[in-house]
Amino acid sequence: MVDLVTQYEKIKPEVDQNTQHVFQTAQFINGPEVKDLQTELESYLNVKHVIPCANGTDALQIALMALDLQPEDEVITSDFTFAATVEVVGLLKFKPVLVDVDADTFNISLEAIEKAITPRTKVIIPVHLFGQCADMDAIMALAKKHNLYVVEDTAQAIGSIYTSKDGSKHAAGTIGNIGTTSFFPSKNLGCYGDGGAIFTNDDHLAQVMRSIVNHGMGKRYYYDRLGVNSRLDSVQAAVLRIKLRHLDEYTAARQKAAAFYSNYFSNDARVETPVIASYSTHVFHQYTLKIKGIDQYACQDYMQAHEVPAMIYYPMPIHTQEAYGPENFNHEDFAVTNELCTSVISLPMHTELDEEQLTYICQTLESFLNQAV
Ligand SMILES: *Cc1c(COP(=O)(O)O)cnc(C)c1O
């Protein structure tokens, strides 16, 4: 699904030099690389504050810890996402309120959010799934009307650009009160281990979250609140600083591969290629097809037997997972997610795909379809 080895070969001199420098100066924790990455990300994203942390799940947890919520307060998020988005809500003893998604973009459905709002609702977490922004103008308007916080889960969409109705452009993760991201190796901006970051334009929230990532400390050894230990280490920051310089080029490579796939299947009625919303660029963390009426697992097995690592993201809606209490949810409320979980298949997507590989992948899928459908 990803080719991080070839990618590393191409940036090896830069990465090796930067990481060697960390080893030689031994400033492993909160060294200058972390501070420099922070500043460079703030300028890349055009956001006032970036707070590096240990991973994307922590980023979400710290965001929710900063919002002075009460137990049982309700947090609305998408049923079609990676479990981390919902997990942190439960861990903090808030109530995860799952809602259905839009059939075209796979992002949280506005009507479904609207229906789910109660007097206990405090937060909406839109997930910019697979690399394209949710409809943030509409979500922000709804949040304003009901006095809710918005935390954008941007783990899959760093570098994606949202265009507001007034024409202004915003980096994914910088529109809501807080944005969070992950630097897990396979993410669009990935390090060589775990990493994450939090974004905000709010000075007060930034100050609170900087304290939470460091045990809730304000002044040295004075603890103002409960915190955690969530740091990005300097070696990862050194890698990320190099990869950030290449991010636009990486995004372009993903978009080129996606365009190849979409073009190949543009006249194939069996396959629905990704829909790109008018208000967002798509940075293709995943390239996900909808193919109705096939056995996805048979398709995946066929592809894998031909050395194409296709994946099913996600095979089960969160509301059906044991950990989240399926009895708390109405299966029929999730018609779109239920259907997506039986029809999606993601093709290999990374920065190193060449035309020969892309052609082979498309032909392999096509030959499966010819025998299956
Ligand atoms: C990867 C991911 C996360 C979690 O990031 P980690 O760095 O693995 O903790 C959260 N939300 C979404 C949507 C993700 O894809």
List the chain domain ranges: 4-99+106-245, 247-372
Closest CA to 141 of 162, 112, 114, 174: 114
Q: Is 100 left (phi over 0), alpha (psi -120 to 50) or beta?
A: beta
Whole-number Å distance between alpha carbons of 86 and 11: 35
Measured in Å, residue 154 CA sits from the centre of ligand 1 at: 9
What distance in angstroms lies between residue 269's CA and the mean position of ligand 1's atoms?
Answer: 33
Cross-strand pairs, 50: 199
Confidence (pLDDT) at 2: 86
Read off the pLDDT of residues 246-285 as tens digits, 9 standing for 90 and up. 999 999 999 999 999 999 999 999 999 999 999 999 999 9
The pLDDT score that the predictor gives to residue 205 is 98
Average pLDDT over residues 167-174: 98
Pocket, ligand 1, Cβ cutoff 6 A: 55-57, 81-82, 84-85, 127, 153, 155-156, 182, 184, 194, 196
Query: What percentage of residues in the chain have a pLDDT greater than 90?
Result: 97
- In words, the CATH class of domain 247-372 is alpha beta
As a whole number, mean pLDDT of residues 336-356 equals 97
b/e map 162-198, b = 16+ CB within 10 Å: bbeeeeeebbbbbbbbbbbbbbbeebbbbbbebbbbb
Model confidence pLDDT, tens digit, residues 58-106: 999 999 999 989 999 999 999 999 999 999 999 999 999 999 999 999 9
Interval between CA 206 and ligand 1 midpoint (Å): 21
Query: How high does pLDDT run on average in the chain?
Result: 97
Atom of ligand 1 nearest to the CA of 156: 15
| DSSP secondary structure of 16-72 | HHHHHHHHHHT--BS-HHHHHHHHHHHHHHT-SEEEEES-HHHHHHHHHHTT---TT
Q: Which fold has domain 4-99+106-245?
A: Aspartate Aminotransferase; domain 2 (3.40.640)
**Model pLDDT, residue 373:** 59
Q: Is the dihedral of CA 246, 249, 253, 258 positive or negative?
A: positive
**Ligand 1 centre from 157 Cα, in Å?**
11
Say if pTM beats, i.e. exceeds, 0.75: yes
